[in-house]
A and B are shown apart, each in its own frame.
Chain A
Amino acid sequence: MLSFENVTIRQGDFSLAANWQAAAGGRIAVIGPSGAGKSTLLNAVAGFIPLKSGHIRWDGQPLDGLPPGKRPLSILFQDQNLFPHLTVAQNLGLGLDPSLRHVNTAAVDRALERVGLEGLGNRRPAALSGGQQSRAALARALLRARPMLLLDEPFAALGPALKAEMLALVEELAGPALVLMVTHDPEDAQRFSTHTVLVADGIAASPAPTDALFANPPPALVNYLGA
């Protein structure tokens, strides 16, 4: 269970408030106009942005002060998800052991296989296509096996078919993990999520059932969708 308790985030003039909970295993889309703070919300959970006030907890344990790598989550950024000087297999191995000293290569191979990259472990990321790079990053998240997966538009640069494929792969791999996915595409939200968080006007609203939200959108969402 992820909970935001009276959280406010402030960066200069910008501020964002959140006060809600999300259960483990959920599939939650985070949607809203650009600049509203979707990424900021994820980055606060991931530990890259300090909170002005309030707490973020996972299963009751506060995350405050935990460095990003020690939090119970994996995060995929918009880009730069792989180190270009390491091989794909090494990039995956970092998910098991950041020192790469005690990596179970069989596990890495299995993960590569599950995302359809078998045999490509020795390549460097530059030798992969965009979709393959996304798959490699997902495979690493799979190896890390953290109870939360944060997706900060990692598939934004992929085409619709490829993106749909990646979302299906996320759904398949995430299993019991809670997935928070930032997107600017309403179709992604409707295809992927059971609940949607609308980020607008300085507030990250409580997750609402996605179907109901889009069937009966509040004014901020209407503005965004341009109905």
Chain B
Amino acid sequence: MARRAGALIAAGLAALTLGPVAIVLAQAGRGGVGTADLAALRFTVTQAALSALASTACAVPLARALARRRFAGRRLMITALGAPFLLPVIVAVLGLLAIFGRAGLVNDGLRLLGLAPVSIFGLGGVVLAHVFLNMPLATRMLLQGWQAIPAERLRLAASLDFTPTDFWHHIEAPMLRDVLPGVLLAVFAICLTSFAVVLILGGGPAATTVELAIYQAIRFEFDLPRAATLALMQVGTCGLAVALASFFTTPGGFGAGLDRQADLHAPTGWRRLADALAIGTAATFLALPIGAVVLRGLPGLFNLPSAVWPGLLTSLLVAACTAPLAVSAALVLALARAQGARWLEAVAMLPMAGSQLVLGTGLFLLVFPLVAPPDVALPVTIVVTAVMALPFAYRILLPEARVLMADYGRLAASLDLQGRAALRLLILPRLRRPLGFALGLTGALAVGDLGVIALFAAEQGATLPLVISRLMAAYRMEAAAAASLLLVIAAFGVFWMCDRWGRKDAEL
């Protein structure tokens, strides 16, 4: 039954993803590929690959340290690891500028030491921002992999007197082989279509991504043929990445554990020191920019412009619709995939081969002749945001759905446990933790998202990020910073509520 529902959702998703691309193509006709386009493609792939590798390389030691150490503030840190990814991108970049920018903390320090200042603009800055935004997500995905190692396996390792090296070879490395391709792909794809970061820290012939080039082609030149060509390049690159990752993904080899709690072995000596260093460095790197945003925004927080409040309500409404939509669709796809429908993998990742601007432009061209775009701004925003968020939710749910089906699929089938009863008695209780995480993630993304709404909204019906961008455009920086802080609180609050719901019974 899940397979049939999965096929239905997959068909809708394919229509929503491929339809707009087809519309853009049909409206745009043909356009040749210029040297600037190729340069954009090269820069896009380079920065995304470097960002994915750097984010994951930082995440592995951090996730392992968090998985095997117990210390005061550990839970807080794991929750806070969601923050940079949940931080609306423009706000995150503002925070990084405060630390690494021309007049930032780092360059102040370098000047004091008599050293030349570093520039945050260009490839280095783009990768830095992407690591800041994505390393925590990678860490949390990896951490779930570590936590999914059954207690039985840990006991077995302890009883066989595994050294940390043995443990790595027999348990951690196989787990990482399962989890890493998904993590790398997720970060790579986010960075392929990353827009706001490159808009602020990139730009110019040497540091323009395909996504930025699409935006410029549509907004500044209204050159739809060129935008279509760029969109095709984008779709091709992302599609290739998705195909590659599905090639590497193999089913998890871990059997079921009977929910008994056991801690990972925490080796002493230099490993203890290395873990402490990983945790300390990451905490500093992640906390400083967020702290800068708070300091900047706090003074104006109690004197916000009136446009902020309806904006906040709209953003929360978008999130309340987007998150359940994206997560329930992702859950159906993940369960159907876990039951063997391999082809769903490609469909679930399909949104990653598109981008907000491509989808938004296609839908804009579709509705423009029929209704005034501002009238459908919210439904379009909800649908596009949900479609774009779905792959993240799917990635989070799939490994756990696989374990669920491998361990209890036959038992549930033999007891005729299916449909709503299976949802209530089996799927929700067993997948509660990843479901809460996925809901929080997509909800916060929806709150802080600034994408397709910009193409559609009029003065009325703006989301909070759009209100902030308008404040910034009007050089009301104090108010923008304060509203940013409010946006951060809203996004973080939504995530915290959902994630907490997911963890409530996790200690059983």
Contacts and interface: CB of A to CB of B under 8 A. Distances in A.
Interface in A73-115: 74-75, 77, 79-81, 83-86, 90, 94-95, 98-101
B259 A67 contact: no
Contacts of B415: 69, 94-95, 98, 140, 144
B425 A100 contact: yes
A77 B410 contact: yes
Given A67-B416, A69-B413, A80-B407, A86 B425 contact: yes
B72 interface: no
Interface string B405-443: 001101101111110111011100110000000000000
Main secondary structure of the interface of B (DSSP, over half): helix
Nearest to A43: B410
Interface string B255-276: 0101110000000000000000
Contacts of B256: 79-80
Most chain A beta-carbon contacts within 10 A, residue among B258, B408, B424: B258
A8 B50 CA distance: 53
A80 B408 contact: yes
B76 interface: no
A125 B258 contact: yes
B413 A83 contact: no
Given A84-B258, A126-B259, A68 B420 contact: no
Given A80-B256, A85-B259, A85-B508, A48 B411 contact: no
Contacts of B258: 84, 125-126
Contact of A83 (B408, B410, B418, B421): B408
A48 B410 contact: yes
A223 B377 CA distance: 75
A46 interface: yes
Q: Is the interface of A mostly helix, strand, loop or mixed?
A: loop
A93 B464 CA distance: 49
B413 A48 contact: yes
B416 A69 contact: yes
Nearest to B415: A94
B361 to A, nearest CB: 45
Contacts of A144: 415
Nearest to A98: B417
A191 interface: no
A52 interface: no
B414 A68 contact: yes
A9 B186 CA distance: 40
Nearest to A101: B421
A123 interface: no
B421 A99 contact: yes
A5 B106 CA distance: 79
A101 B258 CA distance: 25
A74 B411 CA distance: 10
A97 B426 CA distance: 14
B259 to A, nearest CB: 4
B18 to A, nearest CB: 33
Contacts of B420: 99
A98 B425 CA distance: 9
Interface in B364-422: 407-408, 410-411, 413-418, 420-422
Between B414, B417, B430, B508, the greatest number of chain A beta carbons within 10 A of the residue's beta carbon is seen for: B414
B259 A84 contact: yes
B435 to A, nearest CB: 14
Among all A-B residue pairs, the 3 with the closest Cβ atoms: A69-B416, A99-B421, A68-B413
Given A69-B414, A95-B415, A98-B416, 15 more contacts: A67-B413, A67-B416, A68-B414, A69-B415, A69-B417, A70-B416, A74-B414, A80-B256, A80-B408, A80-B410, A83-B411, A90-B425, A99-B420, A126-B260, A140-B415
